[in-house]
Amino acid sequence: MTTSHVESEICQFDASGFEHFVEGSQEPDWLTQHRRQAWRTFESTAWPDRKQEDWARSDLRGFKLDHYGLPTGLPSGPDSLSDANIPCWLADGVQPAGYVHTLNGCVVKEELDTKLASQGVLFGDLRRLASEASDVIQAHLHSIVQPDQNRFAALQAATWNAGQLLFVPRGVRVEQPLYVAAGLTHEACDTAHTLIVLEEGAEATFLYEGNSESAGAKGLHLGGVEIVVKPGAHLRYVNLQDWGRGVWNFAHHRATVDRDASLQWTVAALGSRFSQVGQQVSLVGEGAHSQVNGVLFTQGKQHLVYNTLQHHEAPHCRSDFLYKAALQDKSRTVWRGMIGVDPEAQKTDGYQRNDNLLLSDQARADSIPGLEILADDVRCTHGSTSGKVDEELIFYAQSRGFTRKEAVRMIVTGFFQQIFDRITIESVREALGLSIARQVREYS
């Protein structure tokens, strides 16, 4: 289906704006009550500060919530991503089984293959489906991303608007990817929430990307991602973030992986002025497996913070987190990773690594791996490296006819090759490689 185009109002993130937002929504009573509880949590909670470990290296001094408005209805400007000049990098070479397009926090277009719909697959606007598939959504929404985690989580839980649901019934295999493209125009706001539920033995691929209309665009993104992979199910999930360099991005990403199930999660963060992302994968069933591939590329004064947790709750599980970051100019990244192993999680195999390539003397990468192991029969390893581009490699490439810029682009691409080799979706590998190549400037 394709949504119709209507006018919208912009409300402030205050009590009266929230009431207007709730009163104008057509959604089940349980969801409205859930929003009201989250709003009360937001009002009674202070903003995070540097006394909290996850935020100790975060600078929020320039963030002002009252600079942004909460959208209701659909955008009053462009009614498609192409009209708003929003790129869709992950769509190249892909024939999706369904897609959702959102603009400035509102769903503007959605479609699902009729064959999949007849098999019970649900994919589309989360807010619309909250009425049509209330049982599924009520059972899982905010079951693992809790509104009381911090004030940003509470605000997002209370005001999410452009959301997506993917529900795949037991034993159903979705061969083609499901695709979501989210766009932001200058100084707009997006409060999207993604809910993915794969029942026992199901399989699917989910591609999500968020882009702004220009590299210099400002805005606010409050995101939530909840992934539930039930026994024997297999999910490939890709999240590409390339917001404008003036966008504040706060997101909470959580997944649970059950018995003999698997999750391959690819993260690419290229945009935003500031990002604070909390990512957690919980292995809750014996034999569960997760692989996370992270690509960070920063420039200017960008500041990206990623706090990751591999939580082993059951025995005989494997987790593998690999994050790589390349930094230009005065940009900064913070990666704080933790492997947590519960007493019951014997025979755990956990691995995490963070490598950083500094393309400027003024760039900074903070890498903080950690282990919390409460079981006595495990194999857990972690590591981190940081370094500059080897000038001898640049000289060698120049001696073979490459310009300095071409040489640096080649070296940076090679730095990320280990990540690309782990990604099983060819179109995603190509899209990420091109995205990074576009942003590599001459190194000096």
pLDDT at site 7: 43
- Give the tens place of pLDDT for each residue, 214-271: 999 999 999 999 999 999 999 999 999 999 999 999 999 999 999 999 999 999 999 9
pLDDT at 76: 58
Which pLDDT score is estimated for 77?
A: 64
Confidence at 5, pLDDT banded by 50, 70, 90? very low
pTM of the model: 0.95
| Domain ranges (residues) in the chain | 8-284
pLDDT average, residue stretch 278-303: 97
pLDDT tens track for 50-65: 999 999 999 999 999 9
Q: Sorting pLDDT into bands at 50, 70 and 90, what band is 10?
A: low
Long-range Cβ contacts of 412-419 (<8 Å, 24+ apart):
412/326, 412/357, 412/359, 412/436, 412/440, 413/437, 415/324, 415/326, 415/355, 415/357, 416/295, 416/324, 416/326, 418/322, 418/324, 419/293, 419/294, 419/295, 419/322, 419/324
Q: Check pLDDT > 80 for residue 285.
A: yes
Query: Which pLDDT does position 73 carry in this prediction?
Result: 57
Q: What is the pLDDT of residue 24?
A: 79
Residues 153, 183 contacting (CB under 8 angstroms): no
Residue 1 clears pLDDT 50, i.e. is over it: no
Cβ-based neighbours of 56, under 8 Å, separated by 6 or more = 50
Query: Which of 355, 123, 155 lies closest to 252, judged by CA?
Result: 155
Q: What is the pLDDT of residue 434?
A: 86
> Looking at residue 409, what is its pLDDT?
84
> Does residue 9 register a pLDDT over 70?
no
Query: pLDDT at position 390, please?
Result: 86
Q: What is the pLDDT of residues 24-50, one digit of tens each?
A: 788 999 999 999 999 999 999 999 999
Highest mean pLDDT among 1-15, 279-293, 419-433: 279-293
Per-residue pLDDT of 394-403, as tens digits, reads 899 899 999 8
What is the pLDDT at residue 243? 97
Question: Which of 12-26, 139-153, 368-382 bottoms out in mean pLDDT, i.e. has the lowest?
Answer: 12-26
Q: What integer is the mean pLDDT of 183-199?
A: 95
Alpha carbon 249 to its chain's center? 10
pLDDT tens figures, 92-132 = 989 999 999 999 988 999 999 999 999 999 999 999 999 99
- Cβ–Cβ < 8 Å for 207, 94: yes
At residue 443, the pLDDT reads 53
Encode pLDDT of 69-82 as tens digits: 887 655 556 778 99
pLDDT at 408: 85
Tokens of 116: 């999949």
The confidence score (pLDDT) of residue 74 equals: 53
Rounded percentage of the chain residues whose pLDDT exceeds 70? 95
Contact 254, 227 (CB under 8 A): yes
**Residue 2: what pLDDT?**
45
| pLDDT averaged over every residue in the chain | 93
When pLDDT is averaged across residues 290-307 and rounded to a whole number, the result is 97
Residue 181 has pLDDT above 90, yes or no: yes
d(CA 424, CA 434): 17
